[in-house]
Every structure is written in C-alpha cells, then in structure tokens.
Amino acid sequence: MTAKAIAVDDQLMRILVLGGTVFLGRAVARQALAAGHDVTCAARGSSGEPIDGVRFVKVDRDDPDGLSGIDGEYDAMVDVARRPSHVRPAVGALAGRAGHVTFVSTGSVYSDISTPGQRVETAPIMEPAPPDFDDPAQDPDAYGRCKVTCEQLVTDAFGEDHVFLCRPGLIVGPEDPTGRFDYWVRRAARGGEILVPGTPDDLVQLVDVRDVAGWIIAAAEARLTGTYDAVSPPITRQEFMDALVEDGSTTTYVPQELLLEHEIEPWSGPRSLPLWLPLPEYAGFMSRDVTPSLEVGLQPRPLADTARDTAAALRDDTPSLGLTEAEETEILDAWHARSPKT
C-alpha cells in the first residue's frame, strides 16, 4: 500500500477508540482528550477503567452484534483488536461512519525475523490467518497472521484512502501491563552488578506508548494514510543500559551461549531476560529501519525519559518476570568462573 498524507486539518474531532481501557488504548484516549477532541471509548471495561472525561460505551465484541450500542459518526476511529472475529463485525457496523481509521497492528506481521534493517515498504508479511484461526494465542504465528487478516478487513471496508495501518514494535512505558520493561527499570534501581544479555553492540528497539499514542492522534488530525512501523530507531544494548543504570552500578555482558546453556528464556516469562532475543535468528526483530515513519511524524522521546516516567509509575500488580536475584547471581557466578574478572 502506498503512503499518502492528506492535507492537515486541525479542527477538533469526534474520535472513537475501540478499546481504551488499558495501556495503548488508554494513552490514545488520554492524549486525544488533552488535545481537546471529543472521545468515545468502547470496550467491556474488564481490562481496566476508561480515562475520566471520555464517553464510555460498554460493548462485548465476542457477540457479533455487540457493537450495536455505538451510535453516530466519527471523524476518526482507532481499533486495537487482535481477533478477526472482533474486526469483521466492527467494520460491518462502522464502515461509512468514520472518516479516518487507525488500525493498530504489530511488527509481528513480518515473516522474515532474521534479516536486519528491513523497511516497511519491502519487508515480507505473513499469510493471512486461515478461517479457523481467531485466537492470537493458538499458535506461535497466529498473532501476526490474525493481525494481517485484521489489516485486510479494515482496509477493504474503509478503503486505502482512509486507513492508517500502524505497526508497533515493542511498546513500553507507564502502565505497561506486561512487566517486560519494568524488569529493567526495577533491576537498574536495585543497582550492583547487573547481568546484561549478549554484547554491548546488540540492537534493541522499542517505543514509548505515549509516542505511539501521540502519533496516532497526529495521524488522525493530518489524515495520514498508509502503512508504517511505530517504533523508535534501534539503539545498542549499551545505549539501552546507559539510559537506565545509575552511577555506582556495573553491567556485565554475558554471552547468549551461556544464557542458553543455563536455560534462560528470551523475551519474557519466568527465568527470562526480558527484551533479549537470540541472534542471529531474531536479528530482524529489533533492527527495523523506521526512516519512513520519522518522515511522517513519529517523534520518539529519549529512552531516559521513558525509564524515568516508568519508574515513577511502577505498580506492584504488574507481572513479576525475568530473573530472580538468586538466578541472576547463579548466571553471573557461572560466567565469572569461566571468564575471571580482570
């Protein structure tokens, strides 16, 4: 799909957010309200509370008629859905009633995860989900394939001239329910010798939730259409750690071979090192060339700002994942035994 920005229109808008009770959806609603727009959020209300000041419509998209409570027309709509069965009835109910549509997709739609430096316009994407795929958790590829189907459903219903397909990479920042970035914020705050996976030159790529939300609102205001990655340019693992670590702490880089030997999980979960992916298998995942997105308005903030604000917003109810102190000590000891400190 070719990208196309229609003339900037700074009038206040009626915006419909399908979602809006958690993380990115809440951030979109919060920033739209702050910009003076009239915001309606539609969800069940089970993931969290909508932001004060939005109109909240309780809907259940598991019911094919579940969106019947949404009335009226909207200048812009934002959908964060993951299931084709949620998107199909929504586009049926809302086609023709929203002037601009942002569908929040994902970088997991890309099929080549090992080639570094890929760009949106040439990177291959997965096949759409087969008809019996609807649960993003049913298979390792199901999430990406379901999103490919959702992208197609939205584009077919509203037309390329109305649709912004926004493909975030790893989203971090305040209110992140996953706890992945929180691990590093907490670990940096604890100080001491910090185990870091891989090498200082490995790439890490992420984006602050507020930068994605702000870009989605700006895109709706500007009637931006087309398909873009929503993630900051990659940084090195050392730059990542420098943004988090306080004076007096040290970082010890442990090669991935030793991590794998000790059955440390990548990315997320118990006994994992969050945001670490084995190389070269996943070298394409956190190394995307996002020049096209920066050219049309994505404005990533410095990671140190994200780290500071995430630290200030940490909650006790986010999942506890990553290494325990004992597990980290076990790996550091094993590494030092093999490669004595100089």
Of 82, 128, 131, 122, the residue nearest 103 (C-alpha) = 82
H or E, element range at 298: none
Q: Write the binding mask 250 to 289 for ligand NAP: x where contact by CB under 6 A, - elsewhere.
A: ----------------------------------------
Write the single-letter amino acid at 60: D
- At which residue do the structure tokens 């329910």 appear? 177
Q: H helices within the chain, ranges in order?
A: 23-34, 84-94, 142-158, 180-190, 209-222, 237-244, 256-261, 291-295, 303-312, 325-338
Q: Does 249 bind ligand NAP (CB under 6 A)?
A: no
Q: Does 20 participate in binding ligand NAP (rule CB under 6 A)?
A: yes
Question: Closest distance between ligand NAP and the C-beta of residue 46, in Å?
Answer: 4
Residue 60 touches ligand NAP, criterion: CB under 6 A: yes
| CA distance readout (Å), 104 to 74, 171, 182 | 17, 12, 23
Rounded Cα distance between 104 and 6, Å, is 19
From candidates 125, 171, 244, 290, binder to ligand NAP by CB under 6 A: 171
- Asked whether the beta carbons of 198 and 276 are under 8 A apart, the reply is yes
The residue range among 3-11, 91-99, 164-172, 194-202 that interacts with ligand NAP, by the rule CB under 6 A, is 164-172
Q: What CA–CA distance (Å, rounded) separates 185 from 275?
A: 12
Closest CA to 112 of 102, 99, 123, 101: 123
Single residue of 13, 24, 195, 244 touching ligand NAP by CB under 6 A = 24
Q: Which amino acid is at 335?
A: W
| Count of other CB atoms within 10 angstroms of residue 205 | 20
Q: Which is nearer to ligand NAP, 168 or 226 (CB)?
A: 168
Q: Which is nearer to ligand NAP, 41 or 323 (CB)?
A: 41
- Among the listed ranges 58-66, 121-129, 251-259, 277-285, the one in contact with ligand NAP (CB under 6 A) is 58-66
> Exactly one of 46, 71, 248, 316 binds ligand NAP (CB under 6 A); which one?
46
- Residue pointed to by tokens 């931006």: 224
Q: Which of 144, 168, 198, 300 binds ligand NAP (CB under 6 A)?
A: 168
Specify the residue for token string 């604890």.
190
Of 78, 87, 104, 142, the residue at the interface with ligand NAP (CB under 6 A) is 104
Contact (CB, 8 A) for 201 and 294: no
In the complex, least distance from residue 69 CB atom to ligand NAP, rounded to whole angstroms: 11
Task: Indicate whether 106 belongs to the interface with ligand NAP (CB under 6 A).
Answer: yes
25 binds ligand NAP, rule: CB under 6 A: yes
- Max Cα-Cα span within the chain: 69
Asked whether position 170 contacts ligand NAP by CB under 6 A, the answer is yes
Among 19-27, 256-264, 272-280, 284-292, which window interacts with ligand NAP (CB under 6 A)?
19-27
- With binding defined as CB under 6 A, does residue 21 bind ligand NAP? yes
Q: Does 85 bind ligand NAP (CB under 6 A)?
A: no
| Binding positions for ligand NAP, rule: CB under 6 A | 19-25, 43-47, 59-62, 80, 82, 104, 106-107, 168, 170-171
